[in-house]
A and B are shown apart, each in its own frame.
Chain A
Amino acid sequence: MMKTTLQKIYIALIFVFLYAPIATLMVLSFNASKTRAKWGGFTLKWYSALFKNDAILQALYTTLLIAFLSAFIATIIGTVAAIAINSMKKKNRAFFMGVTNIPMVNAEIVTGISLMLLFISVGIRFGFLTVLLAHITFNIPYVILSVLPRLKQLNPSTYEAALDLGATHTTAFFKVVFPDILPGVLSGFLMAFTMSLDDFIITHFTKGPGLDTLSTKIYTEVKKGIKPEMYSLSTLIFVSVLILLVLVNRTPKGQKDVSSC
């Protein structure tokens, strides 16, 4: 009894630690006073102001577009690469896995700088394209690492059976292999999308002066004083993700097996 109470208190404390800043942002989004320091009464004006603020909406659009495109392209390149890596001999495989791990373990600041130096020397104009290329680059490893375990679990005989029964390589792949690895592909896409949404450091080094994602916009606003519309936008994003996750969680899908450790 004593032990479970302690456990509950511990979870509650960590919960407070994690959610205190988020609650603060939500409260601030309803704060009539423009300064963060004091409470000026309840208002919804920042929410209506948000939908008239073209700069923030443009940044939101850029963020979502880059996240979607980079995750999509990374999913295609990454899935194809994972299939190739899976059928490789040990030596080649080690090389590819090593390369895949570089952006994962390297500091983001170094990845950002290295891409910036590359884009400068090639002479591409900094902007949407450079950010997109950078995001695809750091997204591909997430896709590869989530598709590979699925491929390893595949039974190669099913693919060969499909071929024996007269299916072409393409048909066999899309009818037999692809449905099996689909969960890995989807979770790779989702992870890539999330990473791209939340990225600041790499975008900071590869974006041009005219382009802003939400992260870089917030960073420049921090110095000038952040607009309260930002709080309402982040509250809206947070609440919609929360609702989405609760809905997904409600539908009972394959229950995870959890050991009693």
Chain B
Amino acid sequence: MNRKWMSTPYLVWSIAFIIIPLCMVFYYGFTDKTGAFTLANIIAITMEEHMKALWLSMLLSFISTIICILLAYPLALILCNLSVNQNSFLVLIFILPMWMNFLLRTLAWQTLLEKTGVINSILTSLHLPPLTIINTPYAIILGMVYNFLPFMVLPIYNSLSKIDPNVVNAARDLGANSIQTFFKVIFPLSLPGVISGITMVFVPALTTFVISNLLGGSKILLIGNVIEQEFTQTNNWNLGSGLSIVLMIFIIISIIISTITDKDGEGSSL
């Protein structure tokens, strides 16, 4: 049966709503207000304020990604070792928060972290020093870890549950202790999950403007905030597009790095 025509609706749709819009970002990014070619919007990233925002975004999303791995890996291991009944219930428990609106969940952290908020009331009643992390980069990291943790847990859990138990048993039979088994067998086999978790956490964390807006106060600007402001407040679409192109370059680099390490991981585990 000729199924060629069946791809036509999607082809038309993706050209109209994915490829052409991306080309427009490039068009605006490489032209100035009069429509003449320029590189000024790209070079604008080297301006001090933009550089600072980009650097801070990379730093915060890097730290958040690391924390997510450290929290998610043991969790995925524990979930994986449970019996089927407990296991599906617990996995559900960890996905469920995603059904509460993302903005409201982040806003709730504001309530928890505020100077007179819930956590500080508890701390003062215990005669402990109050926590002042709201409107600091720490609060942004907390928001990132909170929002993106499930995206790290699920891929690691999936790749762990695909591991053939016989492989693990074989390692134990051949005399490896549990630590050796973990580092020589389980961890290398779960690496694809870790890698896909990294891209699923790092990219949204790098480009967020909502979390920094809600938890970082209005003083801390991430690269996402800068781009958002160019479009909604300053209305300088050319500069906003130029900075988006730079952002896309960083996304592409991080994806390339993860695919390379992914291949290495698979190679060494085979």
Binding site for B on A (CB under 8 A): 7, 10-11, 14-15, 17-22, 24-25, 28, 36-38, 77-78, 80-81, 83-85, 87-88, 92, 96, 99-100, 102-103, 105-111, 113-118, 121, 133-134, 136-137, 140, 144, 169, 194, 198, 200-201, 205, 214-215, 218-219, 222, 226, 230-231, 234, 237-238, 241-242, 245, 249, 255-256, 258-261
Which partner residue on chain A sits nearest B80 by CB separation?
A261
Bound-state CA distance A77–B6 (Å) is 9
- Would you call A109 and B224 a contact (CB within 8 A)? yes
Q: Is B98 an interface residue (CB 8 A)?
A: yes
Contact of B108 among A15, A22, A102, A194 (CB under 8 A): A22
Contacts of B1-49 to chain A: CB distance below 8 A: 1, 3-4, 6-7, 9-11, 13-14, 17-22, 24-25, 28
Q: Measured between alpha carbons, how far is A27 from B32 in the docked complex, in Å?
A: 51
13 A–B contacts, CB within 8 A, in A order: A18-B97, A18-B149, A20-B108, A24-B112, A81-B10, A105-B203, A117-B25, A117-B241, A134-B17, A140-B10, A198-B99, A249-B88, A259-B163
Q: Which 8 A-B pairs have the closest CB atoms?
A: A21-B108, A114-B21, A81-B10, A84-B7, A107-B207, A84-B6, A118-B21, A137-B17
Please report the C-alpha to C-alpha distance between residue A115 and residue B18 in the assembled complex, in whole angstroms. 8
A117 to B31, CA, bound (A): 14
How many Å lie between the Cα of A14 and that of B227 in the bound state?
33
Say whether, besides A84-B10, A114-B24, A238 and B99 are in contact (CB < 8 Å): yes
B116 to chain A, nearest CB (A): 5
Q: How far is the CB of B188 from chain A (nearest CB, A)?
A: 13
A80-B9, A84-B4, A222-B103 given as contacts; is B207 within 8 A of A108 (CB)? yes
Please name all residues of chain A whose beta carbon is closer than 8 Å to the beta carbon of B17 when the two chains form the complex.
Answer: 115, 118, 133-134, 136-137
**Complex Cα–Cα for A23 and B17 (A):** 39
Which residue of the partner chain B has the closest CB to A118?
B21
| Residue in B24, B75, B102 whose beta carbon sits within 8 Å of that of A215 in the complex | B102
Asked if B204 and A108 make an inter-chain contact with CB atoms under 8 angstroms apart, the answer reads yes
Give the A-binding residues of B (Cβ under 8 A). Answer: 1, 3-4, 6-7, 9-11, 13-14, 17-22, 24-25, 28, 71, 74-75, 77-78, 80-81, 84, 87-90, 92-94, 96-109, 111-112, 114, 116-118, 146, 149, 160-165, 168, 186, 199, 203-204, 206-207, 209-210, 214, 224, 227-228, 231, 237, 240-241, 244, 247-248, 251, 255
Q: Are A230 and B104 in contact (CB under 8 A)?
A: yes
User: Is B244 touching A245 in the complex (CB atoms < 8 A)?
Assistant: no
B205 to chain A, nearest CB (A): 10
Q: A107-B251, A140-B10 are in contact. Are A117 and B24 (CB under 8 A)?
A: yes
Known: A10-B75, A238-B100. A109 touches B116 (CB 8 A): no
Task: Name the residue among A37, A85, A205 with the largest chain B CB count within 10 angstroms.
Answer: A37
Pairwise interchain contact A18-B10, C-beta atoms closer than 8 A: no
A110 and B100 contacting across the interface, CB-CB below 8 Å = no
- By CB atoms of chain A within 10 A, which of B100, B104, B116 has the most? B104
Q: Is the CB of B161 within 8 A of A215?
A: no
Q: How far is the CB of B172 from chain A (nearest CB, A)?
A: 12
Contact between chains at A261 and B100 (CB < 8 Å): no
Cα distance, A96 to B103, chains bound together (Å): 33
- CB-CB nearest in chain B for A11: B78
* Bound-state Cα–Cα, A241 to B149, Å: 20
CB distance from B24 to the nearest CB of A (A): 4
Whether A22 contacts B103 by the Cβ 8 Å rule is no
Residues of chain B with a CB closer than 8 A to A17's CB: 146
CA distance A106 to B206 in the complex (A): 11
Residues of A within 8 A of B84 (CB): 255-256, 258
Closest to B14 in A: A99
Q: How far is the CA of A256 from the CA of B29 in the complex (A)?
A: 49
Is there contact, CB below 8 Å, between B186 and A80? no
Output the nearest chain A residue to B163 by Cβ-Cβ distance.
A261
* Contacting residues, chain B, for A37 (C-beta < 8 A): 114, 116-117
A111 to chain B, nearest CB (A): 8
Closest residue of B by beta carbon distance from A7: B78
CA distance A103 to B102 in the complex (A): 20
Q: In the assembly, what is the distance between CA of A21 and CA of B6, in Å? A: 46
B96 touches A245 (CB 8 A): yes
CB distance from B246 to the nearest CB of A (A): 11
- Whether the pair B101, A218 counts as a contact (CB closer than 8 A) is yes
Residues of A within 8 A of B255 (CB): 105
Complex: A77 Cα to B227 Cα, angstroms: 32
A157 to B85, CA, bound (A): 36
Would A85 and B7 count as touching, CB distance under 8 A?
yes
Please, which residues of chain B bring their CB within 8 A of the CB of A106?
248, 251
B263 vs chain A, min Cβ distance (A): 17
Q: Is the CB of A83 within 8 A of B3?
A: yes
10 more CB-based (< 8 A) A-B contacts, given A37-B114, A255-B84:
A10-B78, A18-B97, A85-B7, A100-B14, A105-B255, A109-B224, A200-B103, A201-B209, A258-B84, A260-B80
